[in-house]
Amino acid sequence: MEPRDQSRLLVVNRGKSSLEHRRFFEITDYLRAGDVLVFNDSRVIPARLSGKKPDGEGKLEILLLRRLETNVWETLVKPAKRAKPGTKVEFSGDGVVVHGEVVGTGEEGIRTIRFSDEALLSNAGKIPLPPYIHLPLQDTERYQTVYSRIPGSVAAPTAGLHFTPELIKKMQSSGVECLFVTLHVGLDTFRPVREEDPLQHVIHREYGVLEEGTAQRLSQAKAEGRRVIGVGTTSVRLLEAAAQAGTLQPFADWIDLFILPGYEFRMVDAMITNFHLPRTTLLMLVSAFAGKDLLMHAYQEAINEHYRFYSFGDAMLIV
């Protein structure tokens, strides 16, 4: 959808169990002076690499997941059977060649790879798009939020894709405070929960940063009774992880908080989110916030009204 803020918006009111159909730019009708919107400023990196073995025998598709140390990354490899420990791979693109070696293995295609020079990976890689998007983007910036700043995600924090600079300025001029945190989106964004009991699912860790000044402003907002609105499930997870001790604390660490129905939210009073894939931790988090019955009702309404789902789809505001 262009402009970005012309997408549709389904407003879900938990207190009234009601639904409203609007356009995203009309979100200002539901915000009031003093509200605090928390955005995730992580930026998608060129994390998709196409490699081949030096002898030319076999190609490998690799997705960078997270940096473990200098030149060493946890990755997702297909086909994984070709990437045993000691396997060497070459990556080329934009006039550079990067060498890699598999130095560790994990479950379901996870491989640890040591690269010759990680600084060149951005030249050899491409922006990864979700598997249900089959055409390349003419402008890869369309898969970045307009406020993205800190490189590190393998997928966009998609709730933020609806915002334009003009909409953000309009909100700020009406007294809405906009704050930024960083959570680098990882594997759980698109990997389904395969266990019948979700408690048996091991969530993939993601790295997040909540700076001290931001934590202080959020704590002040809560103390003054102002609403904290998370833009996307990533912002929500980071805020809730940083508040696990009971009060919000500055944070710079790995997050493995798995939010399921029954969870008591400590920081977030409202949420902006897209429509998520079935059997994902994202859908479970939103169910925990809205209540499963109301959320399933909202999803059925969205299907009936032909809303667009997933990354470039429409949005929900849950209040």
Q: Read off the pLDDT band of 189 (50, 70, 90).
A: low
Q: What is the pLDDT of residue 218?
A: 97
pTM of the model as a whole: 0.89
Strands 315-318 and 8-13: parallel
Ramachandran class of 270: left when φ > 0, alpha when ψ lies in -120 to 50, beta otherwise: beta
Residue range 214-243: mean pLDDT, rounded: 96
Nearest to 6 by CA among 223, 161, 191: 161
Query: In this structure, what token pair is assigned to residue 44?
Result: 């998608």
Residue intervals of the chain classified under CATH 3.40.1780.10 are 4-44+137-318
Between residues 95 and 145, which one has the greater pLDDT?
Answer: 145
> What's the rounded Cα separation, in Å, for the pair 176 and 34?
5
Q: What is the pLDDT of residue 56?
A: 67
292 contacts: CB under 8 Å, gap ≥ 6? 261
Q: Would you identify the CATH topology of the domain 4-44+137-318?
A: QueA-like (3.40.1780)
Q: Which CATH class is domain 48-124?
A: mainly beta
